Chains A and B, each alone.
Chain A
Amino acid sequence: MTLVKEESGGEPEGDSGEEEAHEAYVPSRRRIERERYKRSRARRATAIAALSTLVTGIVLYLVVVNAPGWPRTKETFFSAQYAREAFPKVLEGLWLNVRLLLVCGAAVLVLGMLIAVARTLRGPVFFPLRALAAAYTDFFRGLPLIINLMIVVLGVPALRLQGITVDPVLLGGTALTLTYSAYVAEVFRAGIESVHPSQRAAARSLGLSNRQALRYVVLPQAVRRQVPPLLNDLVSLQKDTGLVSIGGAVDAVRAADIIVGRSLNYTPYIVAGLVFVALTIPMTRFTDWVTARMDRRQAQGGSI
């Protein structure tokens, strides 16, 4: 986050006309000297950092490669043959993770927002709704996800209800949505409550109803503020989609599991791990970009 800030917030976006003097500015000799000195210090710091990174890297490499168990570890965790075998299977499984992420992600956002709004409603008449929403978030945030999945994926079909699916993927997706919408509801609620009361007061004094104030003034500010934690939850959800394999569905990790079990070689796990990381990095960059953009918007005219 801060990295992006330094890059973009360091200099104001565009020239703002007020700051320009009438005469062209000529930097003094002292200033030029000072800047040159600063640059040389920066160069030196970079060189030292590069050198120490290189040394650290070499040392770590040597420690690992000269470890007594390295040949066997290499064969067990970094075997090219098993990596080649596992990669297509892992990708096939990853498609399930991605589909779950998209569907559950959308459902979680909608449900989470509804619960958050229900919790922040004012007026005594809404008490049961508020209490229900609070109970829901308390329960599903506290319940370990794996147990939630067990109950939904293996318990619901045991009821033998007509018209209820027994598909482990659908059931697993439902369990994920239940847990994550509780998390996301709390994120939204924090966002709604972080909007300054004066905003609501101003909206009301302009003649907006409670609902309109929420819809047009409070929520837009709240959602914008909550983007980073929301994306954080999304990345977390992406990794947890793999847990639906509890019901027998084959996701990326389970696909790796199958090969590991047969061969007792752990390389497929490494492959699956790297594939997940590769999927998370673009999302993280996207989060940073959104945050930076919002910072720029809020700090129009440059940061102080």
Chain B
Amino acid sequence: MHLAQRALRRAASTATVALLAVAVGCAPQPEEKASDKPSGSGAQACAKGELDTEVSGKLTIATDEPAYEPWFKDGKPLNGKGFESAVAYAVAKQLGYDKGDVVWQSVPFNKAFAPGEKTFDFDINQVSISDERKKAVDFSSGYYDVRQAVIALKDSKAAKAKSIADLKGVKLGAQVGTTSLDYINDVVKPTEQPAAYAKNDQAKSALKNGQVDAIVVDLPTAFYITAAEVTDARIVGQFENQGGTPEQFGLVLDKGSALTSCVTDAVDALREDGTLAAVEKQWLSDAVDAPVLK
């Protein structure tokens, strides 16, 4: 009899301990914000260099590794070279953080959107803004209008395509998690299932090896690949924007982050004073136009 009692006692004590743990777990956390809307921007909220950042007095910016050209140069976001690196430092300056106060962090694409504590203030990684994604994270306003382009080896039949219809019978490929893949599935609707690669590197190899006839990437990347990496490939053409709204890259922040409005204001200011246009001209100047596929 007393054996059972002891077991019961033990169970009860375990339950008590666990319930205590629950009670502690329920304690509200200061970082959590119930509101879906970013807090209203006041002059106070965006005091220069005094934002409520991860590490106080520093601005922690995340991007994936490896960091690709032409967005970053030599795979080093720190050097301020490459379009996104330059944009990141311009935003930091606008927010009142010097070059020395910017800390870079390498965060894989997928991990940047996982719920839970964020270790960075914002992420810059060629992430296209979409309403669906806005349910999971906050975006700043767009800092670059992006177009998607098709690349094929010069001697392939895909290189002769003049319209979207010409691409229907072609084996296409793109990186997973990109709008490039959405363009293939929603705009081209090819007869053969498109190949989906974890990284653009693998998509490039597959193109070189003839495992796919053509790949879809964003236009600046397409120019870089055809100019420097797969020189026997050429840009077949670019897609028109879906639904008439330009696709834009935005900075990614935690859902309900207190910084969203300040970062958005900074991006807007940089667009208005021409900084974004100048940076774009400097780093993406060869991204002139390619023929539009209708």
Contacts and interface: CB of A to CB of B under 8 A. Distances in A.
A173 interface: no
B214 to A, nearest CB: 13
B195 interface: yes
- Of the listed residues A154, A246, A248, the one surrounded by the most CB atoms of chain B closer than 10 A to its CB is A248
A221 interface: no
Given A63-B21, A257-B196, A247 B8 contact: no
Contacts of B195: 168, 247-250
B29 A260 contact: no
Contacts, number: 122
Nearest to B117: A69
B147 interface: no
Contacts of A55: 11, 14-15
B177 A262 contact: yes
B25 A250 contact: no
A261 B178 contact: yes
B279 interface: no
B133 A264 contact: yes
Contact of B22 (A48, A62, A249): A62
Nearest to A61: B22
Contact of A265 (B19, B21, B135, B255): B135
A263 B209 contact: no
B103 to A, nearest CB: 24
Contact of B205 (A48, A158, A167, A257): A158
A68 interface: yes
A52 B4 CA distance: 12
A254 interface: yes
A52 B8 CA distance: 8
Given A261-B181, A263-B136, A248 B202 contact: yes
Nearest to B181: A258
Contacts of A260: 110, 177
A252 to B, nearest CB: 13
A249 B171 CA distance: 12
Contacts of B212: 248
Given A247-B202, A250-B196, A258-B176, A63 B18 contact: yes
Contacts of B181: 258, 261-262
Given A44-B4, A68-B26, A250-B196, A166 B176 contact: no
B4 A48 contact: yes
A254 B196 CA distance: 8
Nearest to A47: B4
Nearest to B206: A248
B115 to A, nearest CB: 5
A201 B136 CA distance: 70
A196 B18 CA distance: 53
A203 B107 CA distance: 63
Contact of B208 (A44, A59, A158): A158
A48 to B, nearest CB: 5
A72 B115 contact: yes
A72 B32 CA distance: 11
A44 B3 CA distance: 10
A51 interface: yes
A75 B137 CA distance: 12
A70 B114 CA distance: 13
Given A52-B11, A168-B211, A260-B177, A73 B115 contact: yes
B19 A166 contact: no
B209 A66 contact: no
B288 interface: no
A31 to B, nearest CB: 24
A69 B196 CA distance: 32
B172 to A, nearest CB: 10
Contacts of B87: none
Given A68-B25, A68-B26, A258-B196, A157 B11 contact: no
A148 interface: no
Given A62-B22, A261-B177, A264-B137, A154 B116 contact: no
A222 B131 CA distance: 60
Interface string B107-129: 00110011110000000000000
B198 interface: yes
A245 interface: yes
B18 A248 contact: no
B189 to A, nearest CB: 15
B136 A76 contact: yes
A105 to B, nearest CB: 24
B19 A62 contact: yes
B228 interface: no
Given A157-B210, A263-B133, 15 more contacts: A55-B11, A66-B25, A69-B116, A72-B115, A72-B255, A154-B206, A158-B208, A158-B209, A167-B211, A247-B202, A257-B177, A258-B176, A261-B110, A262-B133, A262-B182
Interface of B: 4, 7-8, 11, 14-15, 18-19, 21-22, 25-29, 32, 109-110, 113-116, 130, 132-133, 135-137, 173, 176-178, 181-182, 193, 195-198, 202-203, 205-206, 208-212, 255
Listed from nearest, the 10 A-B pairs whose CB atoms lie closest are A261-B177, A248-B195, A157-B209, A264-B136, A59-B18, A264-B113, A154-B205, A72-B115, A257-B176, A76-B115
6 contacts: A62-B19, A62-B22, A68-B28, A69-B116, A261-B178, A263-B132
